[in-house]
Structure 1
């Protein structure tokens, strides 16, 4: 029991430290879309108990090339043949989710979905914006990989720890239904983002997180897991914001993120057990990072932080309610047939 708690405690510290370090570096270097790095760090550290192998690193490099290339190639199609472009994008999202459900790397699937939606949506408005998004995704992913390797070196997994179990492979029929459901969760937000990509980029990231979570959430627990985690993420972002205002400094940004990461990580790894799933706590942490990061950027740009947060939180809840409705409708259709 003591060994298990030691292992879980080390994993919690790894997630919190890596996320905090990614957040501080992203904002310290003023990277484009700075929340991308810490969000990918959360996914990477929470789902991998070992550092990436050389083969996995090469796979990620290929995914970066494939994602940026396919996203940019969709831009002319979306501009001149919008309906065909949207249908092809939806098909590619479906295939990416299905790849993850059929035994593929879930991180690769998540990055493919994020890249396809964010890059192609940005490119329909301005090619320069698409190039900025490409740079943000590549730099954010590379930063997350480097930080992950560093924290694994500083806080290695004990030799006594059990190897991480491979994710179960869904039967093909079920994987098709779940992947289609996840793609339908993302698509309306993607269409909305095409009207104003610069403003709706955080909403795309939220929808990608919801699509990923919908693959492991049942319709029965959808309201609790999806809506509850979104509301909790908003509350954590508000608490973080007012805590940060006490002393505005990059080091305090790092330390507060470390503290919040530890608090959520204890729930994520069930050191402090709750009735909520790990996916609930993971989505709460991701939601907090996206909302907080955008509020910090609004503050730097001189915008009204509180009204922008209220609008963004309203959109997050609307997207989450739609995701819950999609899960309920699919569940009703499956029972009827």
Structure 2
């Protein structure tokens, strides 16, 4: 009986932990006036949605080393990108391939995701302005630390039951399959990265979206690509619109937290199977990440006095464009593989 109760309560605990942790990260990021406030909640979503246990000390040290490696490699590539652009872009592509392959071969997927985000965001920012690159470095480091601390706090407040099963080990892949999927994911990220190099400050959200798509493409089949990738992007946009107009009823940091808590619970119920759905957990994870990126940028546009609705429309159009491209790459690779 106790085991059955734990089984029934487990998805609810995980959904609650995800919602509270994401809402807390979002509110703290804006309260602390972080330069890229969506970084912390996005990484909190990945930490809380994909891990059932808090990060151990060893994993925390590994993440700290990855931060140093990512920031250092991204900054070191800036001169190469400025003076030997083709060689620099080719090297970035190779490093993205290696990062995705590391995650697919049993490595820490969070480390792989952070490595991809850091390489693309920092190197793109550095081609325009070294100070902007340093700002991005600080934003990534602070965002990651905040996400890790909030994740640990949430696991303390809403712990897993002692009887809960450990996460199963990822399914082993052949070397050929790993290389194939990693190459596909790297090609999904590259166009958004090249676009961001023309205006790093304006297109930074596009890089974050493409990193999310690259991660999702590793687990999505060509048959379900349109439903999972395009559908989750559209749903994320609709959730961001609903959130924005809900927030306008009463503009306050506490309401920002409470609305994020509500939306996080709604998506978390689907993601953790508390409410049955035909869509995969990756669909709901990408929807939540898309909503956070779009919403965070709209809030920043509003603070800066920009036309929020025009900026949202342009950004949503770009999100859909990179998503359609990601679907095209999945279909193209599947056809080439079938022919081969």
Q: TM-score by structure 1 length?
A: 0.99
Cα shift at 1:165: 1.1
Partners of 1:5 and 1:273 in 2: CA distance: 13
Corresponding residue of 2:83: 80
1:151-230 mapped onto 2 (5 Å cutoff): 151-230=154-233
Partners of 2:191 and 2:151 in 1: CA distance: 33
Partners of 1:68 and 1:170 in 2: CA distance: 30
Corresponding residue of 1:290: 293
3-state SS, counterpart of residue 95 of structure 1: helix
Residues 93-131 of structure 1, C-alpha deviation per residue, up to 9 Å, x if partnerless?
000000000000000000000000000000000000000
Corresponding residue of 1:103: 106
Number of residues of Structure 1 aligned to a counterpart in Structure 2: 337
Is 1:331 aligned to 2:334, yes or no?
yes
Partners of 1:31 and 1:84 in 2: CA distance: 33
Cα shift at 1:171: 1.1
Find the partner of 2:97 among 94, 98, 118: 94
1:257-336 mapped onto 2 (5 Å cutoff): 257-336=260-339
Corresponding residue of 1:231: 234
Is 1:243 aligned to 2:220, yes or no?
no
Partners of 2:261 and 2:134 in 1: CA distance: 31
Residues 222-259 of structure 1, C-alpha deviation per residue, up to 9 Å, x if partnerless?
00000000000000000000000000000000000000
Partners of 1:56 and 1:273 in 2: CA distance: 33
3-state SS, counterpart of residue 114 of structure 2: helix
Corresponding residue of 1:25: 28
Cα shift at 1:169: 2.5
Cα shift at 1:167: 1.6
Residues 272-304 of structure 1, C-alpha deviation per residue, up to 9 Å, x if partnerless?
010000000000000000000000000000000
Is 1:5 aligned to 2:8, yes or no?
yes
Partners of 1:170 and 1:18 in 2: CA distance: 32
Find the partner of 2:258 among 255, 258, 262: 255
Residues 270 and 281 in structure 2, CA contact (< 8 A), matched pair in contact too = yes
Partners of 1:314 and 1:115 in 2: CA distance: 24
Partners of 2:234 and 2:173 in 1: CA distance: 30
Residues 6 and 161 in structure 2, CA contact (< 8 A), matched pair in contact too = no
Partners of 1:210 and 1:23 in 2: CA distance: 21
Partners of 2:126 and 2:169 in 1: CA distance: 36
Cα shift at 1:42: 0.2
Partners of 1:283 and 1:179 in 2: CA distance: 19
Partners of 2:161 and 2:273 in 1: CA distance: 18
Partners of 2:5 and 2:235 in 1: CA distance: 30
Cα shift at 1:199: 0.2
Partners of 1:3 and 1:134 in 2: CA distance: 41
Partners of 1:248 and 1:169 in 2: CA distance: 48
Q: Give the root-mean-square deviation of aligned CA atoms.
A: 0.5
Residues 47-86 of structure 1, C-alpha deviation per residue, up to 9 Å, x if partnerless?
1100000100000000000000000000010001100000
Find the partner of 2:118 among 111, 115, 118: 115
Q: TM-score by structure 2 length?
A: 0.99
Cα shift at 1:2: 3.1
Structure 1 stretches of at least 4 aligned residues deviating more than 3 Å after TM superposition: none
Partners of 1:228 and 1:2 in 2: CA distance: 34
Cα shift at 1:160: 1.1
Find the partner of 1:132 among 132, 135, 154: 135
Partners of 1:294 and 1:251 in 2: CA distance: 19
